[in-house]
A and B are shown apart, each in its own frame.
Chain A
Amino acid sequence: MDEGYLARLGTLLEQYDVPAAFWVNIQLTFWAGLLALALGTVLAVMRISPVASLRALGAGYVTVLRNTPLTIILVFCTLGLWGQLGVTLSSDFTSNFFRLAVLGLAVYHAAFVCEALRSGVNTVPVGQAEAARALGLRFSQSARLVILPQAFRGAVAPLGNVLIALIKNSTVAAVASVAETSGLMRQMIEFRPDVVLGIFLVFALGYVVVVVPVGLATTALSRRLAVAR
C-alpha cells in the first residue's frame, strides 16, 4: 500500500459516513437484543413449565424460527408484513423499516436466547427446584425467585454468544431496506473499485472493534456471576 492508496481511501471515508452505518447496526442490535431477551425469557419459562401445551408451543416456536433463514424472515417482514399486509410500525417511512427489521431480528434471536437460558436452567441443581417446591412455592414463584436468577447467571456466556451473533446478523437488515454497514460497503466497493481491499479492511476492523469488547465483557461477567457451588 503506497501513500496514494491511503490518501484515496481517506477521501473515500470522508465521502461515506462509515461510523454512522455502524451506529445503525449497534442500534439494531440494542433494540433487537432487548426484545429477544424478553421474548426468549418467556419462551424458556414456557419450555420448563409443567403445562404440556405451553412446553409444546415453546418447543414449536424454537424449532420453526431457529430453522428459518434470517434473510427469509427479514424479507417477509418488509415485502410480506409491510408490502402485502400493510403493517406499519411507524408513520415515518424509514423508521418503519428499522422497526420491522428489529422485529425480525428479535423473533429470530429469541429462539437462541431461549435455548441459551435453558442451558442456564440445566446448571441449576434439581435439588433447588425440589427445595422450592418443598417450601410450598408454586411454579411461577420458584421460576421467578429460585430457578431463573441462577439460570441467568449460568447463561451469561451463551447469551454473550447470541449477542455477538446478533451484532453480525444485524447486517442482514440490508435486505429489509435499512441503510447499514453491509449495504454501505457494497455501495463503496461498486463505485470505488480502486480501493476494494482497503474498504473491506475498514469494515472488518470495525466489526472487530465492536465485537471483541462484547466477548471480553461477557467472559469476564460469566466468571464474576458464576454461582459458586
Chain B
Amino acid sequence: MRARRLAVAMAAAATLTLAGCSGGDGGGGTEPAASGSAVAGEGSSETLRIGIKFDQPGLGYQDGSEYTGFDVDVARYVAEALGYSEDQIEWVQAPSAQRENLLQTGQVDMIFATYSITDTRKEVISFAGPYFVAGQDLLVAADDDSITGPEDLEGKNLCSVTGSTSAQRIKDEYATGTNLLEQPGYAECVTALTSGAVDAVTTDDIILAGLAAQPANEGQVKVVGNPFSEENYGVGLPLDSDRCEAVTEAITAMIEDGSWEQILQDNVGASGYEANADLNPPTPEACA
C-alpha cells in the first residue's frame, strides 16, 4: 500500500514537472507532431517534407486533416512542378523560431512559412524566391477610421506576438506613446481587438488579411492597407540546396500563368485585402 502511494506521488510529481516544461516554452504541444512526422519521412525519398505554419489562417493552417492557405497552395504548386503529387507531400509544422533548425537538421526539405529573406538567415540556410512581398501593416476594427498608419497609434493599445519586433518597431520609430500588449499568437490578438481591449494588431499585411478573412472575424476587422516595411517571403531551403533553381523556375511559372493571383484571391481575397501592387508579384532572385 505504501509503495503504491509512493508510486502515485511520483507519477504526480513527474506530471507537474512536465507541465512546467510545456508551459515554459509557450507551445510545448506542438513539438512532438513536428518531430514525429519527420522521423516517419526519414529514408523514404518519395515524399517531400514541407514546413508550414499550422496556426495562421489564410497562410498556413491546419484545419482538421486539411491544410489550407496561401503558403500551402504555393507549396503545392512548387511541389507539383518538382514532380511530387499531392499525396507525396508531408506537411510539417515549422514555428518561426524553429525554421532554421528544421532545415539545418534535415527534418524538412523546404519551408513555406511567411519566411522573410534576411542576411543573417542566409548565413545558415538558402532562400529561393521571393514569391511574395509583404509589409508590416495594422489590423483595426471595421468601424475604426481614426487609425490610418502607425503614427496614429500614440496612446493607443497595440497587440503583437511575443518575441516579434514589429510592435517594438512602431514604438521606436513612429509613436513612442504606444501601449504594447504581447500575446502568444495572433488569434489571441484578434480576440483582444474584437473585444475592444486593444485598438490595433500589427504584423505583415498578408497575415492580417488571412486573419480578417476568417469567417468568425469577417466584417469585424479590416486591414488598414498602408504598409510601412518590406518583407520578402522566400522558400527556405537547406544551405546550398540543389533544388534552388527548380524552385525558382516553379515560382516564375506560377506568377506567369496566373496561378499566383488565383491562389492569393482564394486565400485572403475575402478580407478585401489587395497586395501592394508596386512590389507584387515579385521577380524571384537568381540562386547564389
Contacts and interface: CB of A to CB of B under 8 A. Distances in A.
11 contacts: A75-B188, A79-B183, A82-B197, A83-B192, A84-B195, A168-B20, A174-B184, A183-B162, A183-B163, A183-B182, A196-B101
Contacts of A84: 195, 197
B111 to A, nearest CB: 12
B182 A174 contact: yes
Given A70-B23, A93-B157, A175-B26, A191 B179 contact: no
B6 interface: no
A82 B181 CA distance: 11
Interface in A79-120: 79, 82-84, 93-94, 97
Interface string B21-51: 0011110000000000000000000000000
Given A83-B191, A193-B121, A172 B23 contact: yes
Contact of B19 (A70, A82, A182): A70
Contacts of A177: 162, 180-183
B262 interface: no
B191 A191 contact: no
Contacts of A168: 20, 24
A220 B235 CA distance: 55
Contacts of B100: 193, 196
Contacts of B165: 187, 191
A193 B164 contact: no
A152 to B, nearest CB: 22
Interface string A171-191: 110110111001111110111
A169 interface: yes
Interface in B215-240: none
Given A79-B192, A196-B101, A190 B96 contact: yes
Contacts of A75: 184, 188
Nearest to A92: B179
A80 B118 CA distance: 37
B124 interface: yes
Interface string A151-177: 000000000000001001101101101
Contacts of A71: 23, 26
A174 B19 contact: no
Going nearest first, the 4 A-B pairs with the smallest beta carbon separation are: A186-B163, A193-B100, A93-B179, A83-B197
B146 interface: no
Report the contact-size class of chain B (Cβ under 8 Å from the partner): 20 to 34
A144 interface: no
A127 interface: no
Interface of B: 16, 19-20, 23-26, 96-97, 99-101, 118, 120-121, 123-125, 157, 162-165, 179-184, 188, 191-192, 195, 197
A69 interface: yes
A192 interface: yes
Contacts of A17: none
A194 interface: yes
Given A175-B26, A193-B121, A79 B20 contact: no
B24 A172 contact: yes
B120 A194 contact: yes
Interface in A202-222: none
A84 B24 CA distance: 25
A69 B182 CA distance: 20
A181 to B, nearest CB: 10
A182 B118 CA distance: 23
Given A177-B180, A183-B163, 7 more contacts: A75-B188, A78-B181, A79-B191, A174-B162, A182-B24, A186-B163, A193-B100
Nearest to B16: A165
Contact of B123 (A69, A175, A194): A194
Given A193-B100, A194-B123, A175 B163 contact: no
Interface string A44-74: 0000000000000000000000000111000
B125 to A, nearest CB: 8
Given A69-B23, A84-B195, A94-B180, A175 B120 contact: no
Contacts of B23: 69-71, 169, 171-172
B51 to A, nearest CB: 14
Contact of A193 (B16, B124, B183, B184): B124
Nearest to A180: B162
B87 to A, nearest CB: 31
Contacts of A189: 97
Nearest to B163: A186
Nearest to B96: A190
A14 to B, nearest CB: 15
A175 B183 contact: yes
